A and B are shown apart, each in its own frame.
Chain A
Amino acid sequence: MAGSGKAHLRPEGDALVSVEDLVVEYPVAGGNTVKAVSGISFDIKRGETLGLVGESGCGKSTTGRALIQLPSPTSGAVHYNLVDLTKLSAEAMRRRRTDLQMIFQDPISSLNPRREVGEIVAEPLNVWGPKNKAKQKALVDEMLNAVGIDPDVARNKRPHEFSGGQCQRISIARSLVLEPEVLICDEPVSALDVSVQAQILNLLEDLKKKYNLTLIFIAHDLAVVKNISDRVAVMYLGKICEVAGSDELYENPAHPYTQLLLVSSPEPDPTVVLDRSDTSSGELPSPINPPSGCRFRTRCPLADDICSSQEPQMQEVGQDHFVACHHPLIKVAEAPAADPVWTEA
């Protein structure tokens, strides 16, 4: 799966955010390097929702943080509106931050326990204006109402007086008060009860329409991603395996790993007899010393020699459906009529 390649990228200009060959590595004790993200590429069109799924430790949160340069990636490019964010100075990046906002996994830890909710939501305005208190209050109230929190009740309370779901709503209000273009949601519902998860997901859908947001939705729960995403990218150990439209991916998984993820999800119907015969066991290999070739080969039922020697490249297996695998579960579509190649005169 360790897929490289950019066949799945759409023409430049179409994408609001496009990521090319993103690499994030951390030094760890003993002189080793954790290869958290190893050269992934993807793009997001304006108004689209991209789901980023994978197991814990596959680098999806790291990718989300690298997009907003917290911290900056080791190499690779993150284009936003055709500007490469990785090349900006710290101050120039700081000024761009209003366009790309992020909400985090732990809703309670995302809010400073010593500040009042009104202050927390107004903080982006303290940085970027308007600084006028009355205007700030109007904006904060509007945004708290938009996320379903009563501003008159919440304004002077502290985060510990709210439930996880309410804290996540406050977090969303804080990131949206700057009217960003892109909202990166890093597992925003995985710490919440199932009933609350649905509320937050619906809220995100509503806000997306209301404020014309482009969403990057990071999650390990396939069911959550399916409903909210237009396009889904499946990650494994710092690489992208498969990219497809949400329905296509769930109906016709082309990568053995995607299939494994789908088979592993619990079925809410107890009468269904599950076929788990091909559920691969095993742990995620260490990102310090990832397997050669295809990174999924150690757990893949279809792996053979070529998988350990060659890294698979992204190839198209269907309409807007790309997979990085030597043995895709869908046969490669007839090579589409080659686009005319324009040679520079």
Chain B
Amino acid sequence: MSSFLPSWIRTMFRVFWAMPLVTKLCTFWLTTIILAAIFADFIPKLADPSYQGFLFGTDVTNDGQSLHHWLGTDNNSRDILSRLIYGTRVSLTVAVTAVAFGTFFGGLLGSFVGYVRGRREAAIMASIDVILAFPALVLLLTVVTLLGKRNLLVISLVVGVLAIPYYARVSRANALAVSRREFVAAARAIGTKDRTILWREVIPNVMPTVLAFALVSAAVTVVLEGTLAFLGLSVQPPTPSWGVMINAARADLRINIWPVIWPSLMLVFTVYSLNNVGDWFRIRTAHKTAAL
């Protein structure tokens, strides 16, 4: 690698080349859809995802793949490719928000109770178990219905908050194991304050596992948004999301199957990629911390 590149970029390339082929492809796929979501507005000649050509009679409804519309058009004669690209935004925003929420709040909460133990742990874990005992989808439906608003922010926040208990459990289990290791005892023997031990010794060792869990659970979140959209509880038309697209095209399944196939494939590839990269990350970090 050229030596004039900054070292972190070189490190990223080195890590990328060391991946197994499938993980490389998955990373490539995830990078592509993230870039597509970010730069959707700047892709030249990308059709307007809300453009309904039939109103003007200029375009075809439920058309198959063509040079003009690479993935064809849907029942409102909108370009499927451009809707997929804009729909990536919704799916990824929900996934990223939920993961960020869960990792930050759930990860910190779990690490804290796993390190301090005692009554605070018992109280916090008991309330988390109560939340977990609730079927997540039912809770989600209730909250979304009660809030009334169904914009991207609300959906993301609700999914994010609901993710916290899962992250708290995962990170607590790890914090328990990490806190028993001798470098934590050594830090206490040195006279390090508890808060510093938590930040410098415990959390850095809990986070890799939580991040691996985050990648896998991002996949669950993408599917969850799809489920909500399918039930009509996610973002409202005409804003596209993969779930919304599947739901809308379902009615015309017998006329044209492609508007269902494409967003479903996006879901499948993305979920598989997140799982694959998550597994790879977990194995890689576990390998590095192995003792003796």
Chain A contact residues, CB within 8 Å of chain B: 65, 68, 70, 94-95, 97-98, 100-102, 104-106, 108-115, 123-124, 127-128, 160, 164, 171, 174-175, 178, 191
Contacts and interface: CB of A to CB of B under 8 A. Distances in A.
Contacts of A65: 185
Given A95-B191, A123-B190, A110 B205 contact: no
B292 interface: yes
Interface in B137-192: 181-183, 185-192
Nearest to B192: A127
A101 B185 CA distance: 11
Contacts of B192: 123, 127
Contacts of A101: 189-190
A94 B193 contact: yes
Size category of the B interface is 20 to 34
B18 interface: no
Nearest to B178: A112
A171 B290 CA distance: 18
A160 B190 contact: no
B185 A70 contact: yes
B contacts with A: majority SS: helix
A191 B190 CA distance: 22
Interface in B78-113: none
B183 A111 contact: yes
A108 B201 contact: no
A70 B190 contact: no
B292 A104 contact: no
A104 B191 contact: no
A239 B200 CA distance: 38
Nearest to A68: B189
B289 A160 contact: yes
A183 to B, nearest CB: 11
A95 to B, nearest CB: 7
A108 B291 contact: yes
A112 B191 contact: no
A100 B186 CA distance: 12
Contacts of A164: 292
Contacts of A175: 186, 189-190
Given A112-B201, A113-B288, A160-B289, A105 B182 contact: yes
Contacts, number: 75
A112 B290 contact: no
A114 B196 CA distance: 15
B281 to A, nearest CB: 15
Contact of B186 (A95, A108, A110): A110
A109 B182 contact: yes
Nearest to A94: B191
Given A112-B204, A160-B289, A123 B182 contact: no
A160 B285 CA distance: 12
A202 B288 CA distance: 31
Given A101-B189, A102-B189, A123-B192, A112 B288 contact: no
A312 to B, nearest CB: 34
Given A106-B291, A160-B288, A191-B292, A112 B205 contact: yes
Nearest to A98: B191
Given A112-B204, A113-B205, A171 B292 contact: no
B191 A127 contact: yes
Contact of A124 (B181, B190, B204, B290): B190
Contacts of A127: 190-193, 196
B182 A106 contact: yes
**Which 6 A/B pairs are nearest by Cβ-Cβ distance?**
A97-B191, A104-B182, A110-B182, A114-B204, A109-B182, A112-B183
Given A97-B191, A112-B201, A171-B186, 10 more contacts: A70-B188, A95-B191, A97-B190, A102-B185, A106-B182, A110-B183, A111-B186, A113-B289, A115-B200, A175-B190
Interface centre among A160, A178, A191 (most CB of B within 10 A): A160
A333 B211 CA distance: 68
14 contacts: A68-B189, A94-B191, A102-B185, A102-B186, A102-B189, A106-B291, A106-B292, A110-B183, A110-B186, A112-B204, A113-B205, A113-B291, A123-B192, A191-B292
Nearest to A123: B190
Interface string B202-214: 0011000000000
A65 B183 CA distance: 14
Given A109-B291, A113-B289, A174-B186, A128 B205 contact: no
B52 to A, nearest CB: 54
B288 to A, nearest CB: 6
Interface centre among A100, A115, A164 (most CB of B within 10 A): A115
A105 B186 CA distance: 11
A104 B186 CA distance: 8
Contact of B185 (A94, A100, A104, A123): A104
A101 B204 CA distance: 24
A114 B292 CA distance: 15
Nearest to B186: A110
